Amino acid sequence: MNARRVLEVRRLGRTRYADAHALQQELLARRVAGEIGDVLLLTEHDPVVTVGRGADVAAAGEATTPIVAVERGGEATFHGPGQVVGYPIVLLEEGRRDLHRWLRDLEEVVIATLADFGVAGRREEGLTGVWIGTRKVCSIGVAVRRWVTWHGFALNVTTDLAGFGTFQPCGLDPGVMTRLADHVTRPLTCAEVEDALVGHAARILGFDASDG
């Protein structure tokens, strides 16, 4: 029987986007080279709007926060405090080398996490991400190099949704965005949401988690 792979979890706390992006690039290169194993970075970013390959920087419109063009798929989205951002840097093994499946797996991790807090998450036909009812709570966009994934998901927990209000996030009306805190009856912390995400990521993606 083959041993399960270990997913090293690194909780970075609050970070500047540029610093987390540089760390992703470093770990990606090392994972491609076989120098390290699989890693999941968890963080909250200082306010920033990122624009993926599906749009140009103009898609961020009149956003007043810094705007950064990045390598992931998808369009423009906001990151800020109160949002749990996960960057899995994972080698997709033969038999799992399907980016559509990878996106669906990441959605499933988030849907299972929401269920832990008594909230029903769902997919929206033809779109990527996770919704609660008619409103979007999690954006997902990934990139891959030599079958190693990077970038990932952004789950709104207690995020100030005003950060989405000056552009069309993922090409959608900004009013479609929501956060987990608005669908539960008790206070939430990003740390407890991270705990749930780690457990479901390990189970759904097929790892044992090493949470440092």
Q: Is the dihedral of CA 74, 150, 69, 133 positive or negative?
A: positive
Residues 191-203: pLDDT tens digits? 999 999 999 999 9
CATH class of the 5-211 domain in this structure: alpha beta
* Alpha carbon distances (Å) from 107 to 14, 62, 166, 205: 23, 29, 26, 11
* Alpha carbon distances (Å) from 35 to 7, 19, 27, 28, 90: 14, 21, 9, 10, 13
Residues 34-85: pLDDT tens digits? 999 999 999 999 999 999 887 766 666 666 688 888 999 888 899 999 999 9
* Alpha carbon distances (Å) from 27 to 23, 31, 61: 6, 6, 32
- Is the per-residue pLDDT at 2 higher than 60? no
Show which residues are catalytic: 170
Task: Supply the pLDDT for residue 1.
Answer: 41
48: number of Cβ within 10 Å: 21
Q: What is the model's pTM?
A: 0.94
Label residue 56 exposed, middle or buried (CB < 10 Å: 0-12, 13-18, 19+).
exposed
Dist CA 129 CA 178 (whole Å): 12
Residues 130-153: pLDDT tens digits? 999 999 999 999 999 999 999 999
* Alpha carbon distances (Å) from 201 to 82, 153, 181: 20, 12, 21
Dist CA 11 CA 85 (whole Å): 10
Label residue 66 exposed, middle or buried (CB < 10 Å: 0-12, 13-18, 19+).
middle
Task: Supply the pLDDT for residue 210.
Answer: 80
Task: Supply the pLDDT for residue 62.
Answer: 66
